[in-house]
Amino acid sequence: MTSPVIPTIRPARPEDVPAVVAMVHELAEYERAPDQCHLTAEQLTSALFGTAPALYGHVAVDERDEPIGFALWFLNFSTWAGVHGIYLEDLYVRPAARGTGAGRLLLATLADICVRRGYQRLEWWMIDWNPAAGFYASIGAEPMSEWVPYRLSGDALRDLAGTALPAGTRPVD
């Protein structure tokens, strides 16, 4: 009996984009919202590898260097702590690769980036029914139940934007 191969974690490369986009769509399917996922390879390529990328990515790869999981993340900033942190937008490991340690290794890589750069937080949201809650608790992650996420999008976003004043102007009394 052979033991499973431990995945390798590395920064995402342009050639990984199609696999990551496919996994993002798999994640949307898993989260029961496939119709809400519109990510394209062109969008992800631009976000990760454009002139001023604000999105970063790591992939877990198998022994053939094929992506089996990913973490997409960006920097946030704590005004109270006065330092950046990492916000993990999405973490996903393909079902066939679960149990190989890929998810833990992806999180450990991001934790290492935080520690090396002096960031104090690694944060993410999780859908409330995700069975990964037990895994997250096992590594010491704590749910932040006192904070309520808000989202402004679609018509409400456009309506509010329509009330903005041009830069440098003041409201009329």
Q: Which amino acids are annotated catalytic?
A: 136
**DSSP class of residue 56?**
E
Cβ–Cβ under 8 Å, residues 101 and 93: no
List own/partner pairs for 49-56 with CB under 8 A and 24 or more apart.
49/14, 55/89, 56/11, 56/12
Note the helical H segments in 9-127: 17-30, 41-49, 102-117
Query: Which two structure tokens, joined as six digits, stand for 70?
Result: 């990913």
